[in-house]
Amino acid sequence: MLTRSQEMLSHWTTLRLGGPAQRFHSAATTAELVDSVAAADSRGEPVLLLGGGSNLVVGDSGFPGTVVHVATRGVEIRDTAGDRVDVTVQAGENWEQIVRLVVDRGWAGMEALAGIPGRAGAAPIQNVGAYGQEIADTLIDVVAYDRTAREVLRLGAADCGFGYRTSRFKSSPHRFVIAEVTFRLRSDPLSDPVGYDQLAARLGISAGERVPIDAVYEAVLNLRRSKGMVLDASDHDTWSAGSFFTNPVIEPQRLPPGAPAFPQVDGRVKTSAAWLVEQAGFRRGYGSDRAGLSTKHTLAITNRGAARTQDVLDLAVEIQRGVIDRFGIRLEPEPVLVGCGLS
């Protein structure tokens, strides 16, 4: 197990920002992962779990504790009854590579999750989703270390508390360490019905139609590239933590005139954070030569090359306040904020 002190976390986040970690462990096995966290807990040290660093904003002062880098690898495939296939993935596996693998094998259920950066173990925390699919649709169970009970548990999907971009793991962020995830997919060359108009238009079909899963995969990748959401070291628009704000879910009477509206089962509506940002006067590229909105996508706050974390936070606060002043709606950050916060 690799151990270092004062490791700069800017080397490990897609924003390329963040100060030093007091102690840095890279865990290559589940045993190392659990042991590293348990040892830090026994010392009374704060713990930060680090995967791909794609949904993480670390303060300029760094992290005064132990950072455990999840570097576990492994994929196990098991056929089940009928056309179902179970795929168990170790937490440190690259998410995009897993999606590519299952699409290549002809298994449906993840094709719209192409191009999302990060690691497999982080995907259930946010209930990662895009273009009508989300982790909760296919997840069967997770194996996780419960830091409170000090034991390794297997939690079924019903125990994960999934909601829009949230889960039990996100609502109790310091309790669970996800070690592996199992998904149940369909052996089917055709996608789920395509429900997003933007994706359907890119595919040249009507919403609700099914198409080959590799066509959905490629279309989603192209859409994400057009928004600067596929990592590219040469493109500062991808030096970000992805979408910085979640789409608000609000009461219908609070919906601004003309705003997109997606009805929810509880009677509320989900609207577009990007629409609110743009209508509040923040356009693509807004900001400074240090931190600015992506030139391709108004929800991504980017490091233009010389930013500090505080520059990103200052811009996020400015946007939050602008949307509140214009619409009375507070945008909530989507990334995990470590050693920093929004006022």
Give catalytic residues, as residue numbers.
165, 243, 334
Closest listed residue to residue 17, CA positions, set 8, 5, 4, 7: 8
Task: Please name the residue that has the structure tokens 């108009």.
Answer: 197
**Distance (Å, rounded) from C-alpha 244 to C-alpha 316?**
8
**DSSP letters for 91-150:** TTSBHHHHHHHHHHTTEESSGGGTT--SBGGGHHHHT-EETTEEGGGTEEEEEEEETTTT
Task: Please name the residue that has the structure tokens 């669970």.
Answer: 176
Closest listed residue to residue 37, CA positions, set 21, 19, 51, 25: 25
Neighbouring C-beta atoms of residue 317, cutoff 10 Å: 13
Closest listed residue to residue 251, CA positions, set 260, 234, 263: 263
Residues 6+ apart with CB under 8 A from 260: 271, 272, 275
**Distance (Å, rounded) from C-alpha 193 to C-alpha 205?**
11
Q: Which helix (H) or strand (E) holds 187?
A: strand 176-187
Neighbouring C-beta atoms of residue 73, cutoff 10 Å: 12
84 to 102, 111, 140, 183, 187: CA distances (angstroms): 12, 16, 12, 10, 6
Supply the DSSP symbol for 321.
Answer: H
238 to 14, 199, 230: CA distances (angstroms): 8, 21, 7
